[in-house]
Amino acid sequence: MMKIGTHYAYWNNMWAADYIALCHRAKKCGLDVLEVGAGDLVNMSDAELAELSATAKELGLEISANLGPPKDKDISNADPAIREAGVKFLCDILDQMVKIDCKILIGACYNCWPFDFVDIDKEALLDRAVEGMKIVGDHADKLGLTIALEILNRFESCMINTLDEGIAFCERVGKKSVKLLLDTFHMNIEEVEDIPTVLRRGGDWVAHVHVGEANRMLPGQGHLDWAEIGRALRDIGYDAKVVMEPFLLTGGEVGPAIKVWRDLSAGADGDKMDEMMTEAVKFLRANLNG
């Protein structure tokens, strides 16, 4: 049975968040998973991590950790010092994840995000990222954790834009822990084949799935065929996390970073945001689990 989650920034237009409060909010909406900011974990004390872990367990929630590495911790960077800092940063996050029983680190861990497109020597970027990810993958293997590398569209990265590029990268890394995240938003932009076909081809490489409409709204608020997407996931025996990444709110830090230039929530207050999330959870359960 697939577990339904959401990225925490659905409710915020700032990256900082009260994860304890959001755990309770996620539970109220019927979610199984709360996806938190991985970078926040390295700044949390052991006591704070213990509180988050205890709260999640009490509520029956699982935690996944989402990362867009900052530019000074980019394992694809031409500067060796930055690459070294990036490897350490990723390994430190993995160590913190163990403390909250978080099993998976996801995101564009192979470069920085937002990507600035200053260095677009794709081959060199990939070569450097592979070497760094081999080290990080070794650490994840030892800890029994998974890293799911997110395939991004061309407007967010020049490095890994399609399933085939993602598989090629993972094969070069050659670590059991390093797999892929497929995201319906990005696939809708980049893949030649339809989304269900791409998911089926992804097969065992798919360790995490992000879902959202092509307009960045909640599943069911756009044109994607969710029944077929659910059928494809069942066909490959996928029974892990399916996490929504809806970004509806303008302003703050999140709106400009995600390029949300108009209010996609139709002026929703907090209660309405919860109501929409609750309906999206029901919609996904009906379509994904069959």
Q: Which residues are catalytic?
A: 150, 245
DSSP-derived 3-state class of residue 91: helix
Nearest-angstrom CA–CA distance, 141 and 109: 16
Kind of pairing between the strands at 241-244 and 178-183? unpaired
CB 280 within 8 A of CB 245: no
Burial 222-258 (b: 16+ CB within 10 A, else e): bebebeebbbbbeeeebebbbbbbbbbbbeeebbeeb
| Tokens representing residue 158 in the block | 């020049």
What are the backbone angles phi and psi of residue 252, rounded to the nearest 5°?
A: 60, -145
Nearest to 238 by CA among 210, 257, 274, 218: 210
E strands in the chain: 3-7, 33-37, 62-67, 104-107, 146-150, 178-183, 206-211, 241-244
Taking only Cα atoms into account, the Rg of the chain, rounded to an integer number of angstroms, comes to 18
DSSP-derived 3-state class of residue 28: helix
